[in-house]
């Protein structure tokens, strides 16, 4: 699929996820075959732009293009200024968040809460599209709740505003992440607009990705939680879409190298204290798939030293390779 001048191959994208899709994880997913990765959301509140968290989110050093950055806010002019700020820091695609269901976000009337005000949606989209020369994309849900499913109307507003691609998570805000995904709603939106549509929601395997593309007519799929702990899912989906065949899972040695490199990149990006803390959740996701993963997590979670965290993780992979008891 194509967004502005950027041809995305494969059409398998990493979703923006707060606290997850940071630069180290985005780079890792690109190495494993993601056609595009979208950053964590950057607030349009200028009071936050000098915070340490935002400075990290504006750092795209060494990141391959195209670089897509998601912005979050409710004021059209502030959103336009946030878009200009991020383009100035290297963003090549600006993505607008109108899909986040979190109470903290919707409580400020941002994210999915914006779907309740179609006029404001139009003003925000117009302001951002007119503010930057880069393509602007939008991520939405199918509506606020089951009585207010206006995803189709929002999609039409977006296309009229010049949005270049639309990602649809096939649930309402009220549905959170637990209700069944409404792929029929994604299909209805795809049939109504001409811009590329990206399907999102519960795409957890190569076979599911193929089915979603076929049943919705979407141009691409976006992977979120299914990439946590298994970034190689992008390579597996891409291969299946091209050949109809399943790739064998990556070898233990390849996974070990991936995980250890990921940890090193987290330490380098965040510093030791924050890097170790953030690495814990990634190790929790990775170890879901490992034998005796619970024992590993119990052992690794109290560790505060980067060197020790790295050593114990490497030791655990050696244990998996030999199937000998894990040393104390």
Both 238 and 271 in one domain: the answer is no
Choosing from 220, 243, 266, the residue where a domain stops is 243
Both 280 and 234 in one domain: the answer is no
327 inside domain: no
The alpha carbon of residue 166 and the mean position of all alpha carbons in its chain are separated, in whole angstroms, by 14
154 inside domain: yes
Both 231 and 256 in one domain: the answer is no
Both 147 and 229 in one domain: the answer is yes
The alpha carbon of residue 306 and the mean position of all alpha carbons in its chain are separated, in whole angstroms, by 26
Both 149 and 207 in one domain: the answer is yes
Both 191 and 279 in one domain: the answer is no
Q: For the chain, what is the mean pLDDT?
A: 95
Give backbone dihedrals phi and psi of 148, rounded to 5 degrees, phi first: -130, 60
Q: Which of 99, 122, 121, 125 is nearest to 111 (CA)?
A: 99
pLDDT at 322: 87
Both 215 and 273 in one domain: the answer is no
Q: Which of 251, 274, 223 is nearest to 15 (CA)?
A: 223
Structural domain total, the chain: 2
The pTM of the full predicted model, rounded to 2 decimals, is 0.95
Both 158 and 260 in one domain: the answer is no
pLDDT at 293: 93
Reported as a single tens digit per residue, the pLDDT across 186-211 is: 999 999 999 999 999 999 999 999 99
Question: What is the CATH classification number for the domain harbouring 28?
Answer: 3.20.20.70
328 inside domain: no
Q: Which positions of the chain have pLDDT values less than 70?
A: 324-328
Domain span holding position 281: 252-322
200 inside domain: yes
Both 112 and 257 in one domain: the answer is no
Choosing from 204, 222, 243, the residue where a domain stops is 243
Residue 55 makes CB contacts below 8 A (sequence gap 6+) with: none
Triad 12, 92, 28: Cα angle to 5°: 45
Both 196 and 306 in one domain: the answer is no
Choosing from 189, 212, 243, the residue where a domain stops is 243
170 inside domain: yes
Measure the CA–CA gap between 195 and 3, rounded to whole angstroms: 9
* Extended strands (E) in the chain: 2-3, 6-7, 12-14, 36-43, 68-72, 93-98, 136-141, 165-169, 197-200, 220-223
Both 258 and 197 in one domain: the answer is no
The alpha carbon of residue 310 and the mean position of all alpha carbons in its chain are separated, in whole angstroms, by 26
Reported as a single tens digit per residue, the pLDDT across 36-89 is: 999 999 999 999 998 999 999 999 999 999 999 999 999 999 999 999 999 999
155 inside domain: yes
Residue positions annotated with a catalytic role: 100
232 inside domain: yes
pLDDT at 108: 86
Both 281 and 153 in one domain: the answer is no
């Amino acid at each position: 699929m194509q967004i502005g001048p950027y041809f995305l191959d494969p059409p398998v994208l990493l979703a923006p996820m707060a606290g997850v899709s940071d630069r180290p994880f985005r780079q890792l997913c690109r190495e494993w075959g993601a056609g595009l990765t979208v950053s964590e959301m950057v607030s349009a509140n200028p009071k936050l732009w000098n915070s340490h968290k935002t400075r990290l989110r504006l750092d795209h050093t060494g990141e391959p293009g195209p670089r897509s950055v998601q912005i979050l806010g409710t004021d059209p002019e502030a959103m336009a200024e946030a878009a200009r700020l991020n383009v100035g820091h290297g963003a090549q695609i600006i993505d607008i968040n109108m899909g986040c269901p979190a109470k903290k976000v919707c409580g400020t009337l941002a994210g999915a809460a914006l779907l309740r005000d179609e006029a404001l949606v139009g003003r925000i989209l117009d302001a951002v599209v007119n503010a930057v020369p880069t393509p602007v994309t939008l991520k939405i849900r199918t509506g606020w709740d089951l009585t207010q499913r206006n995803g189709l109307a929002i999609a039409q507003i977006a296309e009229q505003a010049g949005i270049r691609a639309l990602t649809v998570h096939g649930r309402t805000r009220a549905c959170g992440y637990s209700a069944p995904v409404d792929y029929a709603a994604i299909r209805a939106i795809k049939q109504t607009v001409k811009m590329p549509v990206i399907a999102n929601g519960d795409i957890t395997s190569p076979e599911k990705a193929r089915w979603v593309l076929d049943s919705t007519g979407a141009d691409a799929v976006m992977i979120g939680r299914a990439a946590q702990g298994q970034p190689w899912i992008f390579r597996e989906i891409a291969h299946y879409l091209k050949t109809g065949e399943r790739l064998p899972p990556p070898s233990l040695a390849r996974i070990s190298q991936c995980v250890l490199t990921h940890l090193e990149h987290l330490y380098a990006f965040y510093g030791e204290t924050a890097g170790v803390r953030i690495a814990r959740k990634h190790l929790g996701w990775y170890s879901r798939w490992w034998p005796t993963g619970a024992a590993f997590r119990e052992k690794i979670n109290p560790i505060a030293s980067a060197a020790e965290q790295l050593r114990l993780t490497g030791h655990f992979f050696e244990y998996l390779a030999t199937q000998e008891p894990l040393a104390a």
